[in-house]
Structure 1
């Protein structure tokens, strides 16, 4: 079981605090969570929140230093971390723990110095201030979340959900993450490279959105070759207009979006069926095992066979 220490502090937003507690506490197949979630504070006891009520925290820094996953679900802009908390986080990290900064939690991650020379993601509205305060790190405001392996950071509230679901998906497979997302009534997967802020309004009625219709059309045909010309005609647009509108609508290119859909579907088939890798490659539109292996390794750093072996238990 993975031990999770969620850091609370005086003046925390209970909504932000609830995100990792909810996701990790409810994850797993058949209601059995593989995470042991504990809310911690530097000084356990009663803490005020921004919602007008108090919370009681029972666990202290000793829980942080022994955790497998240390989560900062928020922080105060411009605030560093105390020497005691910094030491506990460094001990946990040295022992192999992953550090997670959700939204302004990236300020706490930056304050530890463990992200120096690397990049972190934060809410777009705070990116400039964070970069000025910690010039040793590269701040991303154009992604939903980023995963460096030992340091994982995300943008704001909805992106924090995406980030935590990504961790569940990484640890326990697509089926576990998809079932959890369904129970939370949220999107099962938004890739970290997706833009935080799309400056184009999404129509209230999906039938009025040709890009949304084109995306649904493509998802229903992942087992076939989808060329950009036919895809753009489905949206009743020229190829050039479709390409531009797709990026405006999603924050990524049509080709990259389609590749991510194929990879996600392949992951689910590998985890939940006994189909051969060759069959999975055909059913997800890669055409050949060689092509599937190439893209799978490039995007996930592993092979389809290794992924299936890793998550075979979660797929049963």
Structure 2
């Protein structure tokens, strides 16, 4: 792999990276691509050239400021353009920035939105019809604001036709290292990760460790009544027919009304609620995995483990180890 990198370096100039810094920037999010793509971080011939640009002087937190050497013209020839966050999801970027990003897209540049930087790409219309992600706290806002985007709420980072978006905070590091790996190979990415004292690789599809959003109520009082009944009786099997009788609806009407009220099917809602309750019990109680599984309606520890790992990417015992109370199971 090192031979391949050397061969690339002999044949080509370093890949150019342009980092656009917006108003009220986050110092941490700006620092991530600076660390990963800086020529100084890789011992040997540089793999990337790196420019920081902005639309004039910018203010950051705690009195930090930025007076960039380059403006939007730096985006015009960059192989990779990175937006490291965005100060306000409700704030549309300038027309000049949107036009510059669309021009980058048209000529085939890689465009990256780290954390809330995904909003900038979405406002520019670049993500329409593409998959994308962002910081989990803004998942619902993003999905509602940009319905034309195929949103992946749990991913650490997503690549979709030279458009890359990441979740928040340290997921930006995973995302940037994945880009290095894609362009320069694993040896280069591993070397950078080693110098930054980071794990060399986390799969982009690995779940963000978040509490699954489960609707607590709806505008339909009958569905609200059913949700409360189901929450009180998670361990008790309840058929769709029994639920329909409880709310005085036909089975078909219940299915449609439940989805309209919660955005989930009944089975999806029950799974999410059971997983959320499992998280709470793992964090706050010393109950065994088997006891928790039975109390939330999974029926067996094996079923809990399978569903928990599928959704959160870790086993219940690992979740308890990281966030909760030790037990003997």
TM-score (norm 1): 0.63
- Kept in 2, the 8 Å contact 1:181–1:188? The answer is yes
In structure 2, the partner of 1:145 is 157
In structure 2, the partner of 1:8 is 21
In structure 2, the partner of 1:54 is 65
* 2:138 equivalent to 1:126: yes
In structure 2, the partner of 1:73 is 84
Deviations 1:263-293 (A, max 9, x none): xxxxxxxxxxxxxxxxxxxxxxxxxxxxxxx
Tell me the CA shift for residue 96 of structure 1: 1.3
* 2:162 equivalent to 1:172: no
Deviations 1:117-161 (A, max 9, x none): 122110111011112222211222110000013100000011000
Q: Distance in 2 between matches of 1:128 and 1:188?
A: 30
Aligned with 1:146: secondary structure? strand
In structure 2, the partner of 1:284 is none
Tell me the CA shift for residue 30 of structure 1: 3.0
RMSD: 2.6
Q: Distance in 1 between matches of 2:135 and 2:172?
A: 10
Q: Tell me, which stretches of 5 or more residues in structure 1 are unaligned? A: 204-237, 253-316
- Kept in 2, the 8 Å contact 1:47–1:56? The answer is yes
In structure 2, the partner of 1:275 is none
In structure 2, the partner of 1:302 is none
Deviations 1:69-117 (A, max 9, x none): 1100011211212111111111121111011000000000101101111
Distance of aligned partners of 1:250 and 1:170 in 2 relative to their CA distance in 1, 3 Å threshold: same
In structure 1, the partner of 2:47 is 34
* 2:100 equivalent to 1:88: yes
In structure 1, the partner of 2:168 is 156
Match of 1:17 among 30, 40, 49: 30
Deviations 1:233-273 (A, max 9, x none): xxxxx866764564476359xxxxxxxxxxxxxxxxxxxxx
* 2:250 equivalent to 1:250: no
In structure 1, the partner of 2:129 is 117
- Ranges of 4+ aligned residues in structure 1 off by more than 6 Å: none
Q: Distance in 1 between matches of 2:156 and 2:176?
A: 11
Q: Distance in 2 between matches of 1:124 and 1:84?
A: 28
- Kept in 2, the 8 Å contact 1:104–1:122? The answer is yes
- Higher Rg of the two aligned structures: 2
Q: Distance in 1 between matches of 2:89 and 2:308?
A: 35
Q: Tell me, which stretches of 5 or more residues in structure 2 are unaligned? A: 1-13, 212-278, 283-300, 316-329
Aligned with 1:23: secondary structure? helix
Aligned with 1:164: secondary structure? helix
Deviations 1:32-79 (A, max 9, x none): 331111111123xx3210232212211011111221111000112112
* 2:120 equivalent to 1:108: yes
TM-score (norm 2): 0.61
In structure 1, the partner of 2:250 is none
- Kept in 2, the 8 Å contact 1:13–1:51? The answer is no
